[in-house]
Structure 1
Amino acid sequence: MKVGLIRCMQTEDMCPGTTCLKVMKEKKLAFEGIEEEIEVIGVNTCGGCPGKKAVTRAAEMVKRGADTIVLASCIKKGTPIGFACPHAEKMEEAIKKRVGNDIKIIDYTH
């Protein structure tokens, strides 16, 4: 699995992404049951509200080899601040439309 991780720009000052990377490495939570090696192709932010840049950033990571786009828990669950992105659903829909059905989307990490 080759992963492109997209995280919330609003939380990057308080979260270095270590938990997202750790659960990938240990194949826990959203990555439980994945047999193959997980390679991180890239890590980027959504670009700030309303997350429009996430679409082109996801497409670029797919161009560079990602077969899976992961929206970090800060987007869908609001971790660590307890406030999920109000644009998360629309962002995910736009990413799916842009990258196509062959690319897997995982909508949280931990």
Structure 2
Amino acid sequence: MSSEPRPLTGRESDVLTKLLSAGGAREYLNQIPYCQVIGTWGAGSPSVDLIVGVGVSRADGVGDGIVSNGAVTDQNGSAVGEIILWVENGWLSGIEYAWYTDERPRNLPDPDRIEIL
């Protein structure tokens, strides 16, 4: 669902930071302050499409696709989902929350519940 661009929520920003702080995706960290949400993946979905505004450089060396992902666990340590960070042409483009439970989560998970894969 497309919508008027809006700033990232604190949770969205924290999840991006967690996913990008590990491995070869660090060059995308500079884009976080310039990110806006431009749509959700359906009514009530915590998955969002992103756009990066002017004022920051495109990341080099990484094309399209998944740049980082992490397993999501519940308070007991059981796997309940996965967070996938998508990029397009060197720009952050989406946060996907794929869940393994019967009920769709309403929010992105706490970054402490994400283990980078």
Global fold match (TM > 0.5):
no
- State the TM-score, normalizing by the size of structure 2: 0.29
Structure number with higher helix proportion: 1
Which structure is richer in relative contact order (CA contacts within 8 A, separation 6 or more)? 1
Structure number with higher strand proportion: 2
> Quick check: which has more Rg, 1 or 2?
2
